[in-house]
A and B are shown apart, each in its own frame.
Chain A
Amino acid sequence: MFLEFDKISFSYPEVLALDCISFKVARGEIVGLIGANGAGKTTAILHIIRYLNPKSGKIRMDGVDISKIKNEDFPVSYIPDTPVFYEELTLLEHLHFLKALYPDNKLSIDEIIDKLEILDHLHKVPSALSKGTKQKLMIALALLRRYELLIADEPFSGLDPKQIGIFRQVLEECRQEQKAVLLSTHLLDMVDGTCDRYIMLHRGKLIAIGTKQDIIQRNALDPDSTLEQVYLTLVGKEI
């Protein structure tokens, strides 16, 4: 397994955000980290990118404790839920900036422009971009980094159906390149069918893990249930 999230607990001053959560993500696998707002998804991600330190438990990548990995060797690319840009640099300048940081990434700037269809916006600053194009720029910048694990927090926000299709294609290419992908979202219909496995969180607790069929069988649910129906049933809400 590439990523091991092992018995992680974390609490904010007034709330237990993660309660002894464990899961694994393999290379070439797309895993959905799903749950309602406040379930603990972003807190889990902040641990993986080392913005937070767990109160207990360990996170390992290829068997190595992530706190021992040097910053420049840290193999994670992260797309946050809120886009982060240099507001006075153009889209093209952002791409060149990331390329200068990671010159050994085989993906060229031209390829990424083609792949994400952002040619018309190259000379615009972020404030002049639509929400969807900003999100595409975030994806482009994440792909230009050196990474073995791609983490995306609410990546579908602002994307139109065509852009969602492009992003799914990007995820598929990550799978083929044997990269691990962790998608965090509360828009369950968006990831239904996209991910190989799902990690379901609810109020800091792990309520289910596995493929959709596994979860359905284990909990004796209707085989035709959508992911959203599965989740809502598990958290005990009427559909």
Chain B
Amino acid sequence: MVYGAIIKHKLRTAWGMLKHFWPSFLGLLLGVAFLGYQLFAVVMGGGIGIALEPHYIFYLLCACALLNGYRVLFNQTPAIRVNAATLHYLYHTSYFRKILLAEYLLSMIKNMLIAMLIAGLISGFQYDSLFFGNFLLLSGYLYSGILLSWIRYHGKGALRWAAIACYFFSSVGLFSNIDAMRFALIGSVTVWTVYYVFFKLETLNLVKYSKDIAFLDTTTASASQYDMVKMSQITAEHSANRKRRFLLYHMPLKKNNAIFIKCLIETIRAGSRIWIILIVFLIVSVLIYRTSIFVGLPVIGDPAMAAPLSVLLIMLTYANIGEILKKQLNTLMKKHRQGLFLPVSHRQIFSSYILLGSLIYIVLTIFVGLLMGSKSYLMLIFFTLYSIVFIFDVFIEIRGCKFKRPIQTVLRMFSLILSFLFVA
């Protein structure tokens, strides 16, 4: 009855989600199927039975390292999740420990399946010692990522740092060419994490955990019951109550840098979602231009369209960053007009935003240039010209102008033309 009720609840939630969001799930499924097929067609171009080329193996290992990096270093949600009601009603019973163990095992199975797929890709789906070796290593590596994330979530002080150090140790092992070292590093981290989580991690941070899973449950239940108003309300409240780590007074504030620091903090707080979307734009643009992964698709897979589509996505990223900065600037200027006293000149406000924008763009240009394999002197030209465009754009924003919209459209067009320097 106890397990039955929990399973019934999970099934009803899943059914509710499927019933209301089936078009999205179907689209996602088709997308994954297509990308999966393309990946196989490109990566396994030699066919089954032929081991993967070394650079593709490197890419796959990079993907694993990025996944574990996200889990251990950035993920704020618990890696192992039970229902908030399960925690509340079963914590003081013998069931809770069993349910938690079941969740650990379920997570292990999921990671083993991913490891099996990647090991299969590496060995060309030949079930030999290479496959089993990679399968063991990747299973250990990926599962230890989940457990390290779990340890970091509940731990504090030295334990958190130990979890982060373990991630770097095992990642060194992942990229090592010496088999003994790979097994030693990944194996020792896996054994330690499994031992620690199963036998030593007795004190969970239950206050934090119960709050987090209650929020996740409520949003999931609202989605399952198609109560979108409640869902967005809860998400907005949660976001507003989020603890900010990077605070204005932590910085060396002075009158002449206050606007710059305010702008920097607001840019960081723009929300992880927008930054993730922009990173996805960049990754897709690099994939379009530098790989044949989309070959076979109309438009996006056409080699003649690779360069224009790629630069379009790059420019979308640049333009969105500009919009984030300009939105902040507009808000500040609006409040200033409404009576907020700012003991700084318009020129200082203008230069603060320009400085931050230029710093972001220089980093972005180097990053994109490296990914796209662009020529360095062209990147320098691009950065110089784009900075001028950005300064002009911000200047129009701050001063206001009768022909603001047409001028900004011309600037967009000019930026797009400039961005072809990435693929020249």
Contact = CB atoms under 8 A, between A and B. Distances in A.
Contacts of A52: 206-207
A47 to B, nearest CB: 11
7 contacts: A53-B203, A72-B92, A97-B2, A97-B5, A97-B89, A101-B95, A127-B225
Interface in A78-107: 78, 80, 82, 84-89, 93, 96-98, 100-101
In this complex, the interface size class of chain B, counting residues with CB under 8 Å from chain A, is 20 to 34
Interface of B: 1-2, 5-6, 8-9, 12-13, 16, 83-85, 88-97, 203, 206-207, 210, 214, 217-218, 221, 224-225, 227
Contacts of B16: 88
B9 A88 contact: yes
B92 to A, nearest CB: 4
Contact of A51 (B9, B90, B207, B217): B207
Contacts, number: 73
B221 A87 contact: yes
The 6 closest A-B pairs by CB, nearest first: A87-B221, A100-B1, A88-B12, A51-B206, A84-B88, A74-B92
Nearest to A69: B92
Contact of B9 (A53, A72, A86): A86
A74 B94 CA distance: 11
A46 interface: yes
Contacts of B83: 86
A140 B8 CA distance: 21
Nearest to B97: A71
A71 B92 contact: yes
A86 B2 CA distance: 12
A9 to B, nearest CB: 17
Q: Pick the most buried of A53, A76, A97, A127: most chain B CB atoms within 10 A of its CB.
A: A97
B227 A127 contact: yes
A201 interface: no
A188 to B, nearest CB: 26
A72 B94 contact: yes
B216 to A, nearest CB: 12
B207 A46 contact: yes
A184 B253 CA distance: 43
Given A93-B5, A97-B2, A71 B210 contact: no
Contacts of B96: 71
